[in-house]
Amino acid sequence: MSRDVLERILWSLSVDRFSKEKFREDSQKFLSRFPIDEEGVRMILEFDVKAMQEVGVNPMLTLGYWIEMSPDRRVSSYNRKLGSESAHSASIKG
């Protein structure tokens, strides 16, 4: 799996309105445009920000993706998804 591809997808879903709309309409079709393996697709669809960070994805990209696209956009939920043992957390206290 390419960390760079994951980062490009997350960046797109964080800042590009067209990408956000297409992802919400049909996430599988949207992701099929990218050279991403099944594990990468799983991480994105399940909002597995911890796994993304463990493969080297920039924590600020995972946070931006979470805030823009997650069904539960609360930072506290993002922090719980990362788990307390994460040394890579990009989080805001509070």
The reply to whether the predicted model has a pTM over 0.85 is: no
Residue 73 has what pLDDT?
Answer: 86
Give the pair of three-digit tokens for residue 68.
């823009």
Residue 45 has what pLDDT?
Answer: 97
CB 20 within 8 A of CB 9: no
pLDDT in tens, 35-85: 999 999 999 999 999 999 999 999 999 999 999 999 998 888 899 989 854
The dihedral sign for the CA sequence 53, 22, 64, 7 = positive
Domains of the chain, residue spans: 3-82
The dihedral region occupied by 47, where left means phi > 0, alpha psi between -120 and 50, and beta the remainder, is: left
Residue 21 clears pLDDT 90, i.e. is over it: yes
Residue whose token pair is 């911890």: 50
With 0-12 CB in 10 A as exposed, 13-18 as middle and 19+ as buried, what is 59?
middle
Residue 84 has what pLDDT?
Answer: 57
